[in-house]
Structure 1
Amino acid sequence: MTGRNRTVLVGIGGWDGAAEAVRWAARLAAGRDLELELVHCLQTAVPAGFAGPGPLFEDAPADGGRRAPLGEDLAAPFGDASPVRGEVYSDSAPDLLIDRSRDARMVVLGRTGTDGFAGMLAGAAVAAVVSNAGCPVVVVRGRGGDGPVPLDGPVAVGVDTSPNSEAAIAAAFEEASFRQVPLVAVHAWADVVCDAIERTARPVPERETQRQPVEERLLAQRLDGWQEKYPDVEVRRKLVRDRPRQVLLDESERAQLMVVGTRGRGGFAGMLLGSTSQALIHHSACPVLVVRPEARR
């Protein structure tokens, strides 16, 4: 994580798993001599058409006043090497974090909510930040979603043939090098096509499926330059004829960090993450680092 501001931002309001997010970010900041800033917002962005009752926010100032010090307490055990600040803001959490991310090294969020209206809000907020942030975003998830956050295992990265994955590959090599763990480079491709008329999947004729050698060369080409830059990183290539989403979800069961790119474009369209990134931030069994091409580190 070079060439950027030294601040790691942690959103501690409006997401499940905020405590795990603070602890994960505190370990990262302490290990890399970075500053940690805990951000709690009093307002929640409500989708158009929903009327939130006034009493819902009557105790927000007092609640916000409690949450920021709590976050500082959670970060304290990881040493004094990383300055920790806690701030409470009366702004929309996604808007504030997106704005602050332009000068940050990384934004860290807890896992998304899953139950009822609050869960829908949390999921929309996380998607908005991930799609529009000016720096990489980590959604901290554990085994089984709300289980322990893994601290060992390799770093895994999803690799495709688009320019969007270049930033993800760079971030993954950097993370694996710093953590001194292997990097699993996953490239998945499927041998089925969708029939737009019948809305069914059908096998591609055998002569069209002789892609294995081609896909192997493409994966090697995407990794070669980075392997030269990070000779200390052991790279394990995994090429699978399957859907990328399912392969990466399976790999997250063994990894300590999953790195993916996204096609977010800003505005409303930018909130529509690619299906693979969307699935991972909601269902991964380890923290997910999402890197947009425009948000290089």
Structure 2
Amino acid sequence: MSGLVVVGVDGSASSLAAVEVAAEEARRRSADLRVVHAFLWPAMHVPLGASPLGPPDGGLRAMTERLVTEAAARARSVAPDVEVSQAVVTGEPLTVLEAQSRSAELVVVGSRGMGGFVGLLVGSTAVHLAAHGRCPVLVVREQAVPEGPVVLGVDGSAASAKAIGFAFAEAELRGADLVALHAWTGWNAPMPAPQDERAPYANEPGALAAGEERLLSEALTGYRERYPDVKVRHETVHGGAREALIEASRTARLLVVGARGRGGFSGLVLGSVSQAMLHHAHCPVAVVRGGDADGDV
């Protein structure tokens, strides 16, 4: 049975870019592609048919069907071998796409839609879906660097394990290198045991950095063996995670982050680093939730 990639469309240039990316993602996975439009107007009791004074193929419903048909045609032109279906589903976009994510292995959306306001860097649907979707969500922002690596943000939290597995799989699918990046500061690094009991706050120079390098290596344990063809580069950066990941995204073909990680607050469904990537990264961003059991979803 083929897997399923879902892409949300609304007729905007951003969503059409998402359709092209989604078609490529489906092709890589040998998966089917479903093009979905959330049709909100029936719930608002707006007339959907053609006006008696207008053309017979006018009206919101006909316009919506054309929109989805054109998006599906765009997908087929990008990936002719992919089985493409289309659906117009009555409902609010987040609710519709969250429901679609339950049967998908990936949902793809543009960073801005038809409802986007000038100055709003990322659409509310993209942010909320990244927090609530039941599968990884790929938000298409700027153009990826075709030969760049997959960049993975690693923080050592249990919730980030699914993001690590997803990033390795994506690098393998693309034939890309993987850069596993871990950023730390003196505020978020666990304090190693003191070397001298008489000086409880004293440690050898570089002890914090060495501990963070071990954290990164331990987080990746087992994945190298599972994905032996993926070339992995470790990068441990003393500095803010947001700044480090945004800079790394400049030369990446994909950035992968968890929905929430170390330092996340209970009840906060999308971490501040993940949100910052959706707003400011220079390449497509995949947000991978840790799972219902970890409390960050």
With structure 2 as the length reference, what TM-score do the two structures score?
0.79
Counterpart residue identity of residue 135, structure 1: C
Task: Find the counterpart in structure 1 of residue 134 from structure 2.
Answer: 134
Deviations 1:178-200 (A, max 9, x none): 1111100000001358xxxxxxx
The alpha-carbon deviation at position 115 of structure 1 amounts to: 8.7
Between the aligned residues of both structures, percent identity stands at 38
Task: Find the counterpart in structure 2 of residue 167 from structure 1.
Answer: 162
Counterpart residue identity of residue 64, structure 1: T
> For the residues of structure 1 that align with 2:165 and 2:119, how far apart are their CA atoms?
32
Root-mean-square deviation (CA, aligned residues, Å) is 3.4
Structure 1 outlier segments of 4+, above 4 Å:
113-122, 205-209, 269-272
Q: 2:29 aligns with which of 15, 28, 32?
A: 32
> For the residues of structure 1 that align with 2:105 and 2:2, how far apart are their CA atoms?
5
Task: Find the counterpart in structure 1 of residue 258 from structure 2.
Answer: 261
Tell me if 1:275 matches 2:272. Answer: yes
Alignment of 1:1-297 (within 5 A): 6-13=3-10, 17-43=14-40, 60-112=60-112, 117=117, 123-142=123-142, 148-192=143-187, 210-263=207-260, 272-294=269-291
> For the residues of structure 2 that align with 1:121 and 1:176, how far apart are their CA atoms?
27
**Number of residue pairs the alignment of both structures matches:** 267
The worse-fitting range, judged by mean Cα deviation, of 13-22 and 81-90 is: 13-22
Alpha carbons of 1:271 and 1:108: their partners in 2 closer, same or farther (altered >3 Å)? farther
Alpha carbons of 1:295 and 1:236: their partners in 2 closer, same or farther (altered >3 Å)? farther
Unaligned runs of 5+ in 1: 45-51, 143-147, 194-204
Unaligned runs of 5+ in 2: 51-58, 189-200
The alpha-carbon deviation at position 42 of structure 1 amounts to: 1.9
> For the residues of structure 2 that align with 1:69 and 1:115, how far apart are their CA atoms?
21
The alpha-carbon deviation at position 149 of structure 1 amounts to: 3.8
| Higher share of residues assigned helix | 1
Alpha carbons of 1:233 and 1:271: their partners in 2 closer, same or farther (altered >3 Å)? same
Between Structure 1 and Structure 2, whose CA radius of gyration is higher? 2
With structure 1 as the length reference, what TM-score do the two structures score?
0.79
**8 Å contact 1:131–1:270 — kept in the other structure?**
no
Task: Find the counterpart in structure 1 of residue 53 from structure 2.
Answer: none
